[in-house]
Amino acid sequence: MTQSQRPSRLLPTTSGRLLAVRQKIVNRNIIRALFSLASANLLIRIMGMLNQVVVTARFGQSSTMDAFYVASTIPLLLAQLLASAIEASVIPVYAKIRIEGSKEQASRLFSTLLNMLLIFLIVFTLFMLCFRQQFVTISAPGLPDHAHQLATDLTPLIFPVLVFMTLSSFLECLLNTEGQFGLPAYAGILIPLTTVTFVLLGGKTYGVTMLCIGTLVGQLLQIVVLIIRARKAKFSYRFVLDLRSKEIATIGIVAWPALFTALISQSSSLVDQIFASGLAAGSIAAISNALKLISVPIGVVFSSVGRALLPYLSSQAATKDMKGFKDTLRLYLWAVGIGTLVTTVIMIAGAHLIVRVLFQHGAFSAQDTDRTAITLMGFSIGLVPMAFGFITSRAFSALGQTRFLLYVTIFSVVANAVFDYIFAYWWQSFGIALATSAVYTCTMGILLFTLRRRIGKLDLLTLPREFVEVFWKLRLGRIYLRWVSWKDKHFKVRDIPYFSIKRLIRIGTISLIFIAGTVGTIYNSLYTLRIAFGSLVVLAFLRYHYLFLLAWVALDVLIGSTLPFFNGNNLLSGLTIPTILLMLVVPVKPAFKRMPALVFLFAYFLWMLASVGNATIGVGSFFTLWLVYIADVAVGVLIINQLTTRRRLMGIIDAILLQALFIALYGIYGYFTKQSGLYDTNIVGLYRTGSIFDAPPTLAFFLSMTMPLAIYRTVALQGAMRLLGLTILLVLLVAVSLTFTRAADFSVPLSILLMIFFLPSRKLKVGLLTGAVALVAIAMLVITVLNLPLLDRFLNPDISTFNGRTYLWSALLDHFDPAQLLGNGLGSSEVLLTNLQVGVGRGVIGTAPHNIFLNALYDHGLVGVTLLSLLLIALPWNLLSGLRKATPDRRLIIAMALAVYINILIQSMFVTVIWTQQIGVYVWIILSLPFVSYWSTYQTSTDLGDTVELSIYENDQINKEQAIYA
């Protein structure tokens, strides 16, 4: 018995020793790979700095260098994100087929991938060269004209770099898979070495052109070395394109999220450059030079550690060795953190000295040194958070939780743009650098907090065992033991209950907020009060989504109206910001599946973003409008996700109708008091009401959308409540009539007839047709009694030119340039018409395009108007495709949405209010109603004989509807 027990007693000790040995082996392998990669990276960075010293001495920090950096932004950005996608997708698949498959399969996969890359890169590079002017504009919208022209001229020498850089990354990844790290890494030294040679030989004569040629030749030499090394490694190339290979499909599945994440991540530098382009000349060069200096520790330490650490963290995660996973992570967080902290101190303290020694030669002035040094300090502040975030993100990759990293990356880009906008205004290039540091601090907190929630305590304050061993070897073990004893005696964090720690965190947060509020009150008490109240409201909206949607319905149409209370109180920000934040947590994909038209709407808005460089309204105004547009999509997604019951559906509809009733009554009141409207310029004495919009076409557009909704709600009512619904419908009809808007007078009857055609039963069709005729008769009686000239505008001679709109359309078409792929930018059509002052002898006709298609064509080019057309085609297609299996109630709401669509389509030929802040949200709320989650539950319940459990209220409503539709 004693003999049998001994192995079992020895097993834990032996197992612990094996784990310790295994951990040491892991650390040894990581250090070996780290040494190879770090030494190569260090040498490349040193040569890169030598290259930068020569370049800055020759060309300084002028607009010429701004042009070079702008021209190289797009190819370098694309090459980096393609390299990230290749590393994440190709290496695992290729390594697996090398182990499990034959050499022939590996060769075929290698050749297919190489040929696919070659074809894509060559075609895309030619595409970029064809539209090089537009790509330069995207890179730096605020670049001066002479620098913009120089950047455009340099693109034929810089854009081909994309081909060579991407192919080099591909070959280097495959060579690393074969265990060859040294030569592929050291081959990168050829690029700065060749560039320096060309600049020294011909930079004085040919200028910055030699810098471009040197970079291109260096890339070519690097890929030649990698090809030679690949041949020695027995890579076999064949001219084959096996697109049916399952490995290609696997790579495609893994590559697209990695590519998307890398795209978003790399776009931060582009965002910095966009904001820097509006600053003083040389700001882009200062940021670029500071980034090159800060890239030395990033490239040597962060990149090397991350690349060496990821395979071993992945192995530990795969074997569920979470203790080893945490130990490895903690060790390298401590090591990198200490090294980065020392680097930060050196960078901040010696910023001016470093820049002066390296760059202040030749054309690089003392003023350039000061600007670059202060920018370097801004970036250095965030080095430690950047290091922690970089290593922690590799832990998430090892755990396979890349989707969360995608969300964090999206947050980083948005936060970077916000911080750039705020800080650049106050501190120029230093502000942009400081914004980057602030973003890294935020992401570090998010990553560490989330990682702890997912894998448990990280014990980051506990010194790693390897550090303890070093202390003992240095004979500092007693000091360490005394410190541990003191810490355990006076600071027993582990003995503090979890709820107490949470309470302490809350108290600390409250204290910080209180301090910030006190400081804010001293400087601007009113603004601080607004922020404090707004924060509470935003938090409530983030918690109660349905209440948030009701707030959108109640407030959005009033913001920007003639009612003073709703203007200047940051109400729009209070609605838009939480809406954008909610898109990071609510399920977007199911909503897009239910209503595919939202995908086209989102794509249209993304295409708008591409034209930010062309926007004549300014970058700040552009992003303000664009975020409001994105909020339209987000509200549609929230509507689809949140309306899960009939009570919620009817609550949103009732809220919209109550708002419409108020606006209609206010418009009728304004007609009789001659307020909030205008007199017609062609018919003497004809007053047209505009209600809170102060614009009759906008009022007609809004009310014509809500009239089919009022019909739908009235049909669902019974008894006296139905009479109330008819009264509301009559008020809406009278208010629309008092706008004397010809497009609405035509679209409203047509939309009601269309709605009648799609109703679910003959009885309902006859009833609605009779009711519509009766309402029209009553409305005509009221108009006759009041002697309103309703039809006079149809008999006016200006109807042939649509009240002069054809002159505006001709002006837009005359100034449209098909070669402008991205269009002229958001709001450019209004700026053009404002400058042209189009008129035909009776004053200026208008400054708005008055047609959504021409508006999209001029502002966003042929691609923009194509996406808009696809959107307007997809909407009725989605609605009609849902009719086949629709229940009677859903068929009725689809008919309502089709009627709303007709009103929108017809009136959008003459006005562009569909994109205004006051109208846009309501358009997508109403059009999303046929696709809300409630209909899936309702459809399932009726298909399965009410096997799905419903509330008593919903069952009662369904029974009433079945009686109505019978």
* 685 DSSP assignment: T
Query: Helical H runs in 544-645?
Result: 545-555, 571-582, 589-594, 597-610, 619-642
Q: Is 288 helix (H, G, I), strand (E, B) or coil?
A: helix
Tell me which of 667 and 611 has the higher pLDDT.
Answer: 667
Distances (CA, A) of 33 to 38, 179, 303, 310, 464: 8, 10, 12, 11, 21
**CA–CA–CA angle 640, 645, 650 (5° rounding):** 85
- What pLDDT score was predicted for residue 388? 82
Q: Structure tokens of 507?
A: 């108290």
Provide the percentage of residues in the chain whose pLDDT is more than 90. 12
- What pLDDT score was predicted for residue 704? 93
Q: How far apart are CA 629 and CA 345, in angstroms?
A: 44
Q: Give 679's strand partners.
A: 687
State the chain's mean pLDDT as an integer: 76
pLDDT digits (tens, 9 = 90+) for 394-448: 777 667 666 677 677 777 777 777 777 777 777 777 888 888 888 888 888 888 8
- What pLDDT score was predicted for residue 17? 45
Span 855-863, average pLDDT: 88
- What pLDDT score was predicted for residue 939? 52
Helices (H) and strands (E) in the chain, counts: 38, 2
Q: Is 689 helix (H, G, I), strand (E, B) or coil?
A: strand
**CB-based contacts of 3, cutoff 8 Å, min separation 6:** none
- Give the chain's length: 966
Residue with tokens 């190289």: 72
Span 630-655, average pLDDT: 92
Q: Structure tokens of 336?
A: 């990198």
Indicate if the alpha-carbon torsion angle 466, 471, 475, 479 is positive or negative: negative
- What pLDDT score was predicted for residue 6? 38
Phi-psi region of 320 (alpha: psi -120 to 50; beta: other; left: phi over 0): left
- What pLDDT score was predicted for residue 247? 75
Q: How far apart are CA 348 and CA 336, in angstroms?
A: 18
- What pLDDT score was predicted for residue 900? 94
Long-range contacts of 367-372 (CB under 8 A, 24+ apart): 368/60, 368/61, 368/282, 368/285, 368/286, 371/61, 371/282, 371/283, 371/286, 371/429, 372/61, 372/286, 372/289, 372/290
- What pLDDT score was predicted for residue 954? 43
Within 13 Å, how many C-alpha atoms sit on residue 633's CB side? 23
Q: Is 38 helix (H, G, I), strand (E, B) or coil?
A: helix
pLDDT digits (tens, 9 = 90+) for 100-109: 767 777 778 8
CB neighbours (10 Å) of residue 557?
25
Q: How far apart are CA 61 and CA 375, in angstroms?
A: 14
Q: Give 839's strand partners.
A: 844
- What pLDDT score was predicted for residue 629? 92
Span 614-624, average pLDDT: 77
Q: Is 687 helix (H, G, I), strand (E, B) or coil?
A: strand
Tell me which of 772 and 49 has the higher pLDDT.
Answer: 772
Q: Name which of 170, 171, 187 is nearest 231 in CA terms.
A: 171
pLDDT digits (tens, 9 = 90+) for 496-533: 555 665 666 666 666 666 666 666 666 666 666 666 66
> Is residue 743's pLDDT more than 80?
yes
Q: How far apart are CA 840 and CA 843, in angstroms?
A: 7
Distances (CA, A) of 573 to 395, 624, 631, 863: 36, 9, 11, 30
Indicate if the alpha-carbon torsion angle 111, 113, 114, 119 is positive or negative: positive
Confidence of residue 636 (pLDDT cuts 50, 70, 90): very high
pLDDT digits (tens, 9 = 90+) for 54-77: 777 777 766 777 788 788 878 887
Q: Is 827 helix (H, G, I), strand (E, B) or coil?
A: coil
Span 777-799, average pLDDT: 66
Span 196-221, average pLDDT: 84
CB neighbours (10 Å) of residue 763?
12
- What pLDDT score was predicted for residue 656? 95
Distances (CA, A) of 627 to 175, 421, 580, 776: 44, 14, 8, 41
Q: How far apart are CA 637 and CA 155, in angstroms?
A: 41
The answer to whether 890 and 757 are in contact (CB under 8 A) is no
pLDDT digits (tens, 9 = 90+) for 792-842: 666 666 665 667 778 888 888 888 887 777 788 888 888 888 888 776 555
- What pLDDT score was predicted for residue 818? 79
DSSP string across 446-460: HHHHHHHHHH----T
Please give the backbone phi and psi of residue 679, each rounded to the nearest 5 degrees, phi first.
Answer: -90, 140
Phi-psi region of 112 (alpha: psi -120 to 50; beta: other; left: phi over 0): alpha
pLDDT digits (tens, 9 = 90+) for 473-491: 666 666 666 666 665 655 5
* 463 DSSP assignment: P
Span 24-45, average pLDDT: 57
Provide the percentage of residues in the chain whose pLDDT is more than 70. 71
The number of angstroms, rounded, from the C-alpha of 247 to the middle of its chain's C-alpha atoms is: 31
Q: Structure tokens of 839?
A: 């008129």
Confidence of residue 8 (pLDDT cuts 50, 70, 90): very low
pLDDT digits (tens, 9 = 90+) for 142-185: 677 788 888 888 888 888 988 888 888 888 777 776 666 666 76
Q: How far apart are CA 892 and CA 758, in angstroms?
A: 7
Span 945-956, average pLDDT: 39
CB neighbours (10 Å) of residue 466?
16
Q: Name which of 605, 624, 630, 598 is nearest 859 in CA terms.
A: 605
Annotate 54-84 with three-state secondary structure. Answer: HHHHHHCCCHHHHHHHHHHHHHHHHHHHHHH
pLDDT digits (tens, 9 = 90+) for 586-601: 888 889 989 999 999 9
Confidence of residue 14 (pLDDT cuts 50, 70, 90): very low
> Is residue 875's pLDDT more than 50?
yes
Q: Structure tokens of 884?
A: 């086949």
Q: Structure tokens of 692?
A: 């809170």
The number of angstroms, rounded, from the C-alpha of 254 to the middle of its chain's C-alpha atoms is: 21
The region of weakest confidence among 160-164, 787-791, 945-949 is: 945-949
Distances (CA, A) of 942 to 212, 649, 960: 68, 18, 14
Which amino acid does the sequence have at 383?
L
CA 151, 152, 153, 156: dihedral to nearest 10 degrees?
A: 110
- What pLDDT score was predicted for residue 674? 87
Which amino acid does the sequence have at 348?
I
* 966 DSSP assignment: -
CA 858, 861, 863, 869: dihedral to nearest 10 degrees?
A: 10
Q: How far apart are CA 949 and CA 945, in angstroms?
A: 11
Please give the backbone phi and psi of residue 497, each rounded to the nearest 5 degrees, phi first.
Answer: -60, 155
Q: How far apart are CA 582 and CA 631, in angstroms?
A: 10
Confidence of residue 946 (pLDDT cuts 50, 70, 90): very low
Burial 668-683 (b: 16+ CB within 10 A, else e): bebbeeeebbeebeeb
Span 748-758, average pLDDT: 87
> Is residue 899's pLDDT more than 60?
yes
Span 600-613, average pLDDT: 85
